[in-house]
Amino acid sequence: MKLRAILAAAIIGLCAADWAAGTTLIARGLRQNLTAPSEVPVERVVLNQAGAPELVGWVIGRKDSCGAIVLLHGRGANRLAMLQRAKLLSDSGYSVALFDLSGHGESGGTVQGFGYFEGQDAVRILTYARQRFPGQKIGAVGSSLGAAAFVFAAPKAIADAYVLEQLYATLRETTARRMPFSMLRSLQADVLLAQMPLRLGISADDVRPVGRLGKIGKPLLLLAGGEDPFIDHGQVMALKKAAASQLVWFNGAGHVDLLRHDQQRYRISVVPFLATNLCRTNAAGHV
C-alpha cells in the first residue's frame, strides 16, 4: 500500500509539473506600456476588431516610399525588438509598420500560441498595411514567432515578399530541442504537448509551418542561426526545400537577434532582396 501511495504521489506530482510547464509555455507576460522612440518618428496605431484582441503598433510613413514593410517580433518580446530593423528599412526607403502580437507588449490577448493563433493577428496587420499604403507592395519581416505568424496568415493574407528569421519547421521538433533532458527528448515533448487540445483546441500536428510554407507562392528569404539550439539544420533545410526559398546562414548565431549578431550580413542579405521584390524599377536605386 505504501509503495502504491508513493507511486500515485509521484504520478500526481509529474502531472502537476507538466501542467505548470504548459501554463508557462502559453501564458502571456504583463501587459506593457511602451514609450515611443526618440530616434525615429512614429505614429501609434491601435487595431480594434470585435471578438479579437486589440493590436497596438507604430507606423513610420514615408511619402517617397517604394514599398511598405510589416515587422513582427519573436516570442516573449514586443515591437521594440524590431525597432532597429524599422530604422534600417525606413532609412532604406520604406514605410514600416511594427506591431505587438496578441499576448505581447501593449496588445490584448491572454495566450502565446506558437504563431498559429498569431496568424490571425498577421492577417489583420497585413490587411491594415494594404489599406494604409494603397498601391504599394507589402513586405513581411518576422522573427521566430512573428515569422510563424506570417506563415499561418496565408492564404487569408499574403505579402509580396517575405523575410522569415529563425522559423521552426514543426512545433514537435522545436519543442523537443527545448526539453531539459537529452534522453528521450521527443517523448518529453509529446507529453508536454498533449495538453494542447484541452487548452487551445488544436494539436501539435496542426502547428507545422513546413507544411504551409510552400503554399505562399511569393519570394521568400530564410535567415537562420548556424548554432541555433532550438532549430537545427534539418528543420531549416526542410523549410528551404518546402518553399524553394533563398537561405542565408548566420555563422555562430544561436536563437538570437540576427541583426544585432551581424549587422553587415543582415543588411546585405535583406535590403537587396526587398528592393528586388518590392520596389518599382524607378525607385530601386535609392534603396
Which pTM was predicted? 0.90
> Is there a cis peptide before residue 197, judged by omega within 30 degrees of 0?
no
What is the helix (H) or strand (E) element at residue 179, kind and residue range?
A: none
Nine-digit cell at 105?
507588449
- Position 283 scores a pLDDT of 39
Least confident segment among 55-64, 105-114, 206-215: 105-114
Which pLDDT band, with edges at 50, 70 and 90, does 10 fall under?
A: very low
The class that CATH gives domain 40-170+207-286 is alpha beta
Which pLDDT band, with edges at 50, 70 and 90, does 4 fall under?
A: low
Q: What are the boundaries of each domain within the chain? A: 40-170+207-286
The arithmetic mean of pLDDT across residues 82-94, rounded, is 96
CB 221 within 8 A of CB 195: no
- Position 25 scores a pLDDT of 56
- Position 177 scores a pLDDT of 92
CA 211/CA 106 separation, integer angstroms = 31
Top pLDDT among 20 and 64 is at 64
Classify the C-alpha dihedral 65-263-245-185 as positive or negative. negative
- Residue 130: closest CA among 101, 159, 99: 159
pLDDT tens by residue, 230-244:
999 999 999 999 998
pLDDT tens by residue, 171-190:
999 999 988 877 788 999 99
Q: Which long-range contacts (CB under 8 A, 24 or more apart) does 27-33 make?
A: 27/110, 27/111, 27/112, 28/103, 28/104, 28/109, 28/110, 28/111, 28/112, 29/76, 29/104, 31/105, 31/106, 31/108, 32/78, 32/105, 32/106, 33/106
- Residue 220: closest CA among 143, 144, 277: 277
To the nearest whole number, what is the mean pLDDT of the chain?
A: 88
pLDDT tens by residue, 21-74:
545 555 567 778 898 888 889 999 999 999 899 999 999 998 888 899 999 999
- Residue 233: closest CA among 257, 250, 258, 212: 250
CB 142 within 8 A of CB 134: no
| DSSP code, position 27 | B
